[in-house]
Chains A and B, each alone.
Chain A
Amino acid sequence: MELNLADIAFWLLSAISIAGAATAVFTRDVMRLTLGLGVFLLSVAGWFLYFGHAFVAIAQVFVYVGGVLVLILFAIMFLHRSEQGLPELTSRHALDSAVVAVGVAVLVITSLREYVTGQLPTVGGADAEIGVSLLGAYLPHFEAAGVLLLAALVAAVVIVGGEKR
């Protein structure tokens, strides 16, 4: 089999995604775990690029790596380093966790079942089309999501700073 750059990129991305995800699950040190998560999130951006969706890729970097991951790290920095060493990987809630994990797996597989057979999602589409569909056909959904996020933001402010001094 002849290897071209796209194939190399595919295998490299797969390896990085799996390594990042595995690190995020199997590491006991919370900082390295988050680093693994960061590698995984970046590799997801790589997948979007691989399938030709540059805008979604950069949005992934902007929101998840530059925003969410930094907030997680920010929260971890406030943690007190435990004197008793690192926490155990096993959980008391093994059964509940298993139920949730199976449920999520079923959800993902059923929603992606068209593509499980080996057919890849449609590639391409100009970035401008995302804007057109977001502010066209999907405008109500877009607005609803915006209102929901605004409500969450206001709620957070009320919870944090609601007390009158």
Chain B
Amino acid sequence: MSGFVGGLVWGLAGGMLIALATVFGVWWERKVAGRIHMRIGPQTTGPAGLLQVPADTLKMILKEDITPAQVDVRVFRLAPHIVFVPVAMSLTVIPFASGFAPLNTSIGMLFFLAVPSLSVIGMLLAGWSSRNTYATIGGLRAAAQMISYELPRTLSVLSVVVLAGSMRPLEVMEAWRPWWILANAIGFLVYFISSIAEVNSIPFDLPQAESELVAGYFADYSGIRWGIFMMTEYGAVVAASLFGAAVFLGGWRWLPGAFGVVLFIALTLLLITAIIFVKWTFPRMRSDQLMTTAWKILTPMALVQLVIVGVIVPWM
């Protein structure tokens, strides 16, 4: 029974982490975007505008949760949860500190890649049940994009698995050496780009495409259900950054004990900021460019990385 209670506690903790990450993430993103636009960003509400997002959150929770008349009601209400749960689950296998991952499983690396991709089912259902052209197109784009970018992303992580000789994230971390950053440089680039695509951030935001599809698959949502989609997006950014900072950049391996964990968080924040930088710098891709990037550029790059690792491993 203790495992069950433990799971419950970790589930709540993970949910809180995502909620907090969203609140701070939105604030941080608005600050960074402000600097890129040569503005200051939020500053009026609270110190450095810190209370702006909690105020917005309160507004969002109190907002009416509208279910349009023509939608498939039950599927429409279910969809946000199907989007959210897999992303929250993916946080469980991340090696947060030496010897500590909430779910220490022998297939953790594969788990992290396989489970978050399930949220695309929720996106498709949201797009379908809204009975709305924008939402349907958004859902279709989400599916095409997620399936395409899963391949280079998985291949890029595979090279780390080959180097470490294990799929248990904690064992990968124990085996991690600083020279892996150089050996895995191409793989890390592939992972970073395809992660941006997996979290539907600009320049890969075709499924949402504010200026053409309004908000894509969640165009018809409002209030807290819209908020769940928003939280999922930030949760996915945080999860991808945590995982990348751990298995590619070494996370807490650089420094002993608690200092390592602090460094791990700092590296994660660095990756999140990098994703925000990319988001506010590049224009949206065309759908054919999107597919070309996945299949003709990233996948061969990941394969080259795999060959490099394959040559290195026998000499280790």
Main secondary structure of the interface of B (DSSP, over half): helix
- Chain A residues near B113 (CB, 8 Å)? 62
CB pair B129 A127 closer than 8 Å: no
A155 CA / B98 CA spacing, docked (Å): 48
A5 interface contact, C-beta 8 A: yes
Q: A55-B107, A70-B147 are known contacts. Are A61 and B127 too (CB-CB below 8 A)?
A: no
Most chain-A Cβ atoms within 10 A of its Cβ — which of B124, B140, B143?
A: B124
- Chain A residues near B120 (CB, 8 Å)? 66, 70
Main secondary structure of the interface of A (DSSP, over half): helix
- Chain B residues near A35 (CB, 8 Å)? 75, 125
CB pair A65 B105 closer than 8 Å: no
Q: Tell me which of A73-81, A94-102, A113-121 binds B.
A: A73-81
CB pair A73 B107 closer than 8 Å: no
CB pair B143 A31 closer than 8 Å: no
Tally of contact residues, B, Cβ under 8 A: 31
A69 interface contact, C-beta 8 A: yes
Q: A32-B75, A70-B120, A70-B124 are known contacts. Are A77 and B110 too (CB-CB below 8 A)?
A: no
Min CB gap B40→A, angstroms: 42
Q: A54-B106, A58-B107, A127-B107 are known contacts. Are A77 and B118 too (CB-CB below 8 A)?
A: no
Min CB gap A65→B, angstroms: 6
Closest residue of chain B to A78 (Cβ to Cβ) is B140
- Chain B residues near A55 (CB, 8 Å)? 106-107, 110
Min CB gap B215→A, angstroms: 17
- Chain B residues near A78 (CB, 8 Å)? 140
A58 CA / B115 CA spacing, docked (Å): 8
Partner of B114, one of A32, A58, A76: A58
CB pair B125 A31 closer than 8 Å: yes
CB pair B136 A5 closer than 8 Å: no
Min CB gap A75→B, angstroms: 10
A114 CA / B125 CA spacing, docked (Å): 41
Closest residue of chain A to B140 (Cβ to Cβ) is A77
A38 interface contact, C-beta 8 A: yes
CB pair A69 B121 closer than 8 Å: yes
- Chain B residues near A32 (CB, 8 Å)? 75
Most chain-A Cβ atoms within 10 A of its Cβ — which of B114, B129, B144?
A: B114
Interface residues as binary, A56-93 with B (CB distance below 8 Å gives 1, 0 otherwise) = 00110110011101110110111000000000000000
Residues of B within 8 A of A (CB): 1, 3-4, 72, 75, 105-107, 110-111, 113-115, 117-118, 120-121, 124-125, 127-129, 136, 139-140, 143-144, 146-147, 150, 167
Q: Could you write out 16 A-B pairs with CB less than 8 Å apart?
A: A31-B125, A31-B129, A35-B75, A55-B106, A55-B107, A55-B110, A59-B110, A61-B114, A65-B118, A66-B114, A66-B117, A66-B118, A70-B146, A71-B147, A73-B128, A74-B144
